Structures are given as C-alpha cells and as structure tokens.
C-alpha cells in the first residue's frame, strides 16, 4: 500500500535577524498511510507543531523550509515556495484543525457563514443555501446537533466548538487532516468526543488520514495507529502505539513513558522522576545526538556523531545505544 | 525505588487544619445568578495532600479563590486550625496569608515583568512577621530556589528570560519560602511538560514530609491526583459529589459522575492488569 503523504528529509528554521536561526525541524522523514491516524508527540519545543505547519502547507516567515521533499496524494509540493501552491489545491489536500478553535472562528459570523466561506473559497458559484444544506447534512451524518449552524462561536461549549470546526474544515473532503493539539484545552469527556469524531470522519471516508499532534501520550495511545516521538526537532522513535508505549527503545521515549501519570494502580506505587535537564537551545543544538546531555546511556560516540537509524521506516529508533543493544542482545541494563 | 507510598503519608492530626462548612459563592443577581460554589463542606487534616478534581467550570478555582480570601464568600464559613477565617480583615487577614499560600495555573500573570526574580522573592518576604535581613534573607532565597531544582543564577533574571517551567518553579519557591501551613495549588502543573510535572509533584510530597505542609491540590488531571494525593474530592457544578481516600475514589467510586469521569480518562495501558509492575 502506497503512502498518502510522504515527507522526506524535511528541515526548517525560524529565521532570525542576527543570523542565528533556530533549527526547529531537522531531517524529518515520515509517511502517512491511507486510513491511518499518525500520532506525533513530544515536549514543548520539540518541533511537532512546526512540522505540522509544514505539512499543513501553512508555514509563513519567519518559518522557512530549508530542505526536503513533500508529496501528498499525487501532488509534489515545493515547501520553499508554498505561495506557489494554488489555493484550491491546498484545501483538497490538507485541512488544519488548530488548538484553539475559538481563535479560528470569526466571533461575528454564525457557523453556517463559516461553512459558506470555506466552501466558496473552492467552489465559486455556490450559494449560501447550498453551503448551509451541505453542512447540515454532514452534521446529521455525524450525529452532531444541526442547530450549531445557527450559533455564534461563543454560544457553543469549548468541546462542541472544536468538533464543529473539525466538521467544517473537512467539508471539502481533504486527503489529510492535521490536528495540532486539538484537545489540550478540553476536559477528558470533550477530548474523548473529539477523538471519536475524528475516527468517524475517517471511517466514513470524509478524510483519508489524520496526523494528530499532542503532548498527551495516554490520549495518543487511544487514538493513534502509529506514534512518532520527536525530540529537539528530530524523530527519536517511530512505531505502532503498542510498540512505542509498551516496548519503547529510545532512551528518551523510555524516560518520557515513565513520567506519564495515569490513574492506574502501578502509578500510585512507584516514584516517578522527571527527566533531568532541559531540551537544548535550538539556535545551538548539541553535536552528535541531541539528547545526549540528558541521556543516562550516553556514550562517547553520542557526543560526536549523529545517531544511526535502527530499524525500518515504520519501526525505528535513532540511537547509538539502541544499535549497541541490538548487536548484543544479552547485554544487561 | 522505595516500595512504600512515594509521598510518605503522615498520620492525620486530631483536629482538621482546614474546616470548610456550607461554603457558597454566587455571581450575578436576580434571575441570572450563577452559583459557582454550592454549599461545599469538607475538612483537610494537617499534613494531608488532598486533590480537588472536576471538569472545566465545576467551580474548583472559585473555591480556591474564596479560601484564599481573594473572593468573598456569599454564604458559609471556613476556619484554619480552629480559628474562623472567612471574614478576617486587616492585620488578621495578613496573618492568615502567612499561613495559607497559593500557586496558580498561569505563571505569566503572577510576575511583574519589570522585577527580576530576586526582587519578587524579597518583596514576598515582607509578608513575614519578622522579615529576615541581609545574609539570612539571601540564604533563604537560595535555599528555596535550590529546593525547586533551579540554580541561583535565576535570581538575577527577568521574567521574559525564564521558561514557563522555570517561572512556575519560582512561584512555588516563593510560596515555600514563607513556609505556609497550607498550600493551595491551583493547576500548578498544567503548563508544564510531563517530565517536569513529576519533579513538581515530588516536591509537594517532600515539603509535606519535611515541614508538615498541608496541600490542597486542584487539578482536572486525575492521573496527577492519583499519584500525589491521600484523598480526592470530586466537584461537579459547584457541588462536592464525592470525598474519599484516593484508593477508594479511584478503584471504587460511589458517585455515578466520578465513574463517568474515570471512564473518560485515557489510559496508557488499557488492559492494566496485564502490565507487569514497573
């Protein structure tokens, strides 16, 4: 099965006037398969939202792509010249579901006006009545209240707002939906409802794949087919949800999983330690592996050379220690 | 790794430190009145860490603000160590604030952007009955900064030079420096990454062990509540619907709402029984 979205060796920087650019994303290679929810996780500043902006084709200066190739469906996109991508093409390929839907909605427009604007941007001849009708039909199919169309954004609860934006932004049936921290402002019940909605959008074929960006690992584990762990602008580990959560390989992923606090019996019994130190300043990323200053398994080579990719494209960790472990399977920890 | 409870529970004292009775706070008037806190009654014993959980809009933060005397109660009373505190004024109120300190969700809004950290911490020591001078003042600040895992160099930094996690830890250091008897922590970790979150929660447990500090920990994250607290209070639409030991509330909830809340929490290991003890 061919990938729906293929990002190869993507790098991007936040350009700064003094010439010390922030290297926000470095050599990231990922693919998104049809029908899949790909989770992208990591701490603040790991580059996950920057990567989301790049593949959502919404990167604007000072964020500048410096390298890499992006293909979505049959379209090859030049990330360095995003302004050249025709607008109607953009809407058919990707839609972005941002963190605060409140900020994405014009407070003086009703939801049905928003639907009209979204569709009209791609189908010039459409009337308001047709647009409203189409949005109404979509809400009905997804068992969401149709009266939301007549509401102003502030009349909807935070959770409902986020669900409505998800539906409106996918009215044009884009190939890929990029959800960038869509649940961080929601409480657990609203989170669950949104995640179920995304699954239904996929199952009904309104969208073909989802990239779900979050720092919430337990939530990601319930929604994602595969998980990507990012650290300091690079991919640390990729694998199925099960693999990454239950059998993490990269020392960073291991440490991250140990810090997760969920209401499970074993969490009450053990002492959880934070990860020592802080993520690096990406104006001056450390040489070699970017995690080495915080890594308890760091070796000499980690300080000098970029870590190798251990595994294949769908299940790998970028780590010297993991490579050593896989060569000596009986090595004691 | 220690085998017993990570936060080392302390045997509760004979009488409660904080006693809240029928506390109510409403906003607006007439037909538009909204009761954010509705006849809430509970107690917190000395040395206890009690988590107050509930969804957005359940009234948790309003309750915290009333207990901190930043909002006047509409009805009901509360007392600290047997002394009525809900109507204190003037010097008595200032003395109450020596005993009860707070850390809030958003560390941005608690900083004066024109003051470096040192001045912020020095200023808050003015609240003490006998503010320490000179060397002792510096020593106390440095000790507080060290306790929260920061280096003394943050004392000379300005708020914009600090990360969100550093700012939050300085706020905690500020509160701890005053050695309050009760710390009200309102979502203190919601702006922090998971890796820092554990550090802050562990610190709360250590402060309790070392100084007998009592903590009311307000959160919407049941995972954090389950890690750090001895007891859990569940709030819905201004009312307390459940009050019990953490184990009882998590594994044997009595109220339907608590059950619902727990079932919506995403798990890391959905089939937890099959997971070996880490």
- pLDDT tens digits along B68-100: 999 999 999 999 999 999 999 999 999 999 999
User: CB contact, 8 Å: A261 with chain B?
Assistant: yes
Mean pLDDT in residue range A63-68: 92
**pTM of the full predicted structure?**
0.85
Smallest Cα distance from B267 to chain A, Å:
5
Asked if B247's CB is within 8 angstroms of A192's CB, the reply is no
CA distance B209 to B94: 26
Smallest Cα distance from A165 to chain B, Å:
20
Asked if B194's CB is within 8 angstroms of A259's CB, the reply is yes
B18-262 belongs to CATH 3.55.50.30? no
pLDDT of A330 > 60? The answer is no
Mean pLDDT in residue range B11-27: 84
Asked if B247's CB is within 8 angstroms of A188's CB, the reply is no
Which chain B residues are closer than 8 Å to A268 by Cβ? Answer: 5, 226-227, 246-247
CA distance A182 to A196: 13
pLDDT of B11 > 70? The answer is no
**Best residue in A264, A273, A278, A279 to probe B by mutation, most B CBs within 10 Å?**
A264
Q: Do strands B214-219 and B49-53 pair parallel, antiparallel, or not at all (unpaired)? A: parallel
- pLDDT tens digits along B86-142: 999 999 999 999 999 999 877 667 778 888 888 888 888 888 888 888 888 888 889
Percent of chain B beyond pLDDT 90?
46
User: CB contact, 8 Å: A273 with chain B?
Assistant: yes
Q: How many CB atoms lie within 10 A of CB B118?
A: 17
User: CB contact, 8 Å: B256 with chain A?
Assistant: no
- The residue with greater pLDDT, B231 or A182, is B231
In chain A, whose CA is at the least distance from the CA of B151? A277
- The residue with greater pLDDT, B4 or B221, is B221
Among A219, A270, A278, beta carbon nearest to B266: A219
Smallest Cα distance from B94 to chain A, Å:
35
Mean pLDDT in residue range A288-312: 94
- The residue with greater pLDDT, A309 or A86, is A309
Smallest Cα distance from A314 to chain B, Å:
21
Among A215, A261, A273, beta carbon nearest to B193: A215
- Extents of the domains making up chain B: 18-262
Which chain A residues are closer than 8 Å to B218 by Cβ? Answer: none
Contact between B236 and B242 under an 8 Å Cβ cutoff? The reply is: no
Q: Does the structure's ipTM exceed the value 0.95?
A: no
- The residue with greater pLDDT, A332 or A65, is A65
CA distance B267 to A218: 5
**Best residue in B162, B194, B219 to probe A by mutation, most A CBs within 10 Å?**
B194
pLDDT of B273 > 60? The answer is no
Contact between A149 and A140 under an 8 Å Cβ cutoff? The reply is: no
| A-to-B residue pairs, Cβ atoms closer than 8 angstroms | 132
Contact between A195 and A181 under an 8 Å Cβ cutoff? The reply is: no
B228: closest CA among B92, B75, B103, B53? B53
- Extents of the domains making up chain A: 5-108+152-327, 109-151
In chain A, whose CA is at the least distance from the CA of B228? A268
What ranges make up the beta strands (E) of B158-237?
A: 182-186, 214-219, 231-236
Burial class for B3, CB neighbours closer than 10 Å (0-12, 13-18, 19+): exposed
pLDDT of A36 > 60? The answer is yes
**A5-108+152-327 topology per CATH:** Rossmann fold (3.40.50)
Among B3, B55, B193, beta carbon nearest to A44: B193
Mean pLDDT in residue range A85-106: 80
User: CB contact, 8 Å: A255 with chain B?
Assistant: yes
């Amino acid at each position: 099965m061919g990938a729906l979205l293929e990002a190869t060796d993507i790098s991007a920087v936040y350009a700064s006037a003094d010439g010390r650019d922030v290297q926000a994303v470095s050599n990231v290679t990922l693919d998104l398969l049809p029908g899949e929810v790909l989770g992208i996780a990591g701490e603040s500043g790991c580059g996950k939202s920057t990567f989301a902006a790049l593949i959502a084709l919404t990167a604007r200066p000072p964020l500048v792509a410096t390298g890499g190739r992006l293909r979505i469906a049959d379209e090859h996109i030049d990330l360095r010249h995003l302004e050249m991508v025709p607008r109607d093409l953009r809407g058919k390929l990707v839609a972005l579901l941002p963190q605060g839907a409140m900020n994405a909605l014009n407070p003086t427009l009703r939801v049905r006006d928003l639907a009209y604007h979204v569709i009209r941007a791609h189908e010039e001849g459409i009337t308001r009545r047709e647009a409203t009708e189409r949005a109404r039909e979509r809400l009905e199919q997804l068992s969401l209240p149709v009266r939301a169309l007549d509401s102003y954004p502030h009349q909807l609860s935070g959770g409902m707002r986020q669900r409505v934006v998800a539906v409106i932004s996918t009215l044009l049936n884009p190939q890929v939906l990029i959800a960038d921290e869509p649940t961080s402002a929601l409480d657990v019940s609203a989170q669950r409802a949104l995640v179920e909605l995304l699954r239904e959008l996929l199952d009904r074929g309104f969208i073909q794949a989802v990239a779900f960006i979050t720092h919430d690992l337990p939530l990601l584990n319930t929604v994602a087919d595969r998980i990507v762990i990012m650290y300091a602008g690079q991919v640390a580990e990729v694998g199925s949800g099960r693999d990454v959560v239950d059998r993490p390989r990269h020392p960073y992923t291991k440490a991250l999983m140990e810090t997760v606090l969920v209401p499970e019996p074993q969490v009450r019994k053990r002492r959880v330690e934070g990860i020592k130190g802080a993520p690096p300043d990406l104006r001056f990323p450390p040489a070699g592996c970017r995690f080495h200053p915080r890594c308890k398994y760091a070796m000499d080579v980690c300080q000098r050379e970029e870590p190798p990719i251990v595994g294949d494209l769908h299940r790998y960790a970028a780590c010297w220690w993991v490579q050593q472990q896989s060569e000596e399977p009986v090595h004691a920890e | 790794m220690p085998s017993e409870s990570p936060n080392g529970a302390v045997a509760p004292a004979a009488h409660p430190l904080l006693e809240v009775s029928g506390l109510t706070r409403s906003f607006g008037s007439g037909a538009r009145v909204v009761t954010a806190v509705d006849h809430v009654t509970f107690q917190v014993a000395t040395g206890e860490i009690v988590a107050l959980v509930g969804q957005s809009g359940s009234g948790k933060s309003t309750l915290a603000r009333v207990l901190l005397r930043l909002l006047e109660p509409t009805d009901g009373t509360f007392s600290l160590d047997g002394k009525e505190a809900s109507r204190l004024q003037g010097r008595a109120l200032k003395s109450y604030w020596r005993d009860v300190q707070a850390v809030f969700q958003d560390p941005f809004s608690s900083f004066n952007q024109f003051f470096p950290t040192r001045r912020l911490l020095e200023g808050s020591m003015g609240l003490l009955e006998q503010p320490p001078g000179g060397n002792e003042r510096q020593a106390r600040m440095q000790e507080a900064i060290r306790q929260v895992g920061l280096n003394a160099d943050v004392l000379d930094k300005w708020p914009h030079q600090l990360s969100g996690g550093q700012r939050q830890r300085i706020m905690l250091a500020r509160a701890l420096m005053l050695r309050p008897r009760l710390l009200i922590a309102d979502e203190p970790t919601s702006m922090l990454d998971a890796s820092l979150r554990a550090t802050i929660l562990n610190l709360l447990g250590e402060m309790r062990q070392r100084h007998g500090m009592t903590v009311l920990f307000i959160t919407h994250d049941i995972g954090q509540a389950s890690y750090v607290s001895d007891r859990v209070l569940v709030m819905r639409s201004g009312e307390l619907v459940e009050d019990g030991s953490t184990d009882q509330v998590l594994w044997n909830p009595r109220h339907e709402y608590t059950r619902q809340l727990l079932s919506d929490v995403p798990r890391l290991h959905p089939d937890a029984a099959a997971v070996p003890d880490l």
